[in-house]
Amino acid sequence: MKQIIFLSVIIFVFAFFCSCGNSGGDNSAKPAMFCLVNSTNWRSPEPKAILTETSIKVFGTSANGQTIILNVGSPQKGEYTANAFTGCYAEFIPNMSAGAARYSTLNSESAYGTIKIESINEESKTMSGSFSFKAYRSTDNTFRTINDGVFTNVPYHFYSNSDTTYQNIFYYSTEGRTWYAKDITAQKNDTALVIFADCDRTETWQSVTMWMSPTIGSGVHYITADGPIYAKFQKGFSTYDATNGSVTIVENNSTTKKFRGTFFFNYKNENDETIAISDGAFDIKFTEESE
């Protein structure tokens, strides 16, 4: 009897300490993306990924607005070479408005890298892998070297090019909160496709506007002060021009008028601080100007 009681106590104590050890949650399941940029630590707290029938894109933005984009021209696991010839590429976009031009493996024969997709978990909708690359910027003939890159448990959204449904959503994150637009309009004419997304005025007075080519195709396109894509963020009585960023078009269908993609951009506020609009996405329909 004493042995039974003693064994029960041992089991209880073991279970108690195991539960205490797990009380903080499973940290290994949290998404992470980190690397060294010219030997300086870089980390994105909330990386995201997009999976389509033909490609994979992994991207993350650091706390100070620096962004890394990894793009693979395949939906499968594997190791891919990123350079100007393979169609796979890696990019680093600094947050400073004066140096907003991107560093890319596409910009020089001396730029190159490796992107490895190690796992794609269809049940949890996450992917993991590693990366390293040397990227070039033509505006000042400089390189950035990215080493020891790792991304783990990054949540992905799957987009099917054959899917004809749409959700009519537009959302983004800024200063620690995700906002969903209440009123969304997308107008297309001969010269531009303009998206305007306004949040619920009972919660906040802010909106995002983006201008781009009406024939913009699938892929990554860049937001700068000089185009080809322009963006503005309105908050209260102030409006801020985007200094840099990108839009990834998943679909621009002239027949169904379905328009889907993701975006991020940075802007400078009235205190000359860089503020990030991150993790943006839209799944909408546009109207023609003549309609």
Cβ neighbour number for residue 23 with a 10 Å cutoff: 7
To the question of pTM greater than 0.85 for the whole model, the response is no
pLDDT in tens, 43-66: 998 888 988 888 899 988 888 778
Band of residue 183 on the pLDDT scale cut at 50, 70, 90: very high
Query: Residue 33: its pLDDT value, please?
Result: 97
Please determine, for residue 116, whether its predicted confidence score (pLDDT) is greater than 70.
yes
| Domain ranges within the chain, ordered by starting residue | 34-158, 169-288
Distance CA(243)–CA(101), nearest Å, equals: 10
Paired sense of beta strands 78-82 and 193-199, if any: unpaired
Q: What are phi and psi of 152, to 5 degrees?
A: -135, 140
Is residue 38 pLDDT above 70, yes or no?
Answer: yes
- Phi/psi at 277 (nearest 5 deg)? -105, 110
The span from the CA of 234 to the CA of 199, in Å, is 10
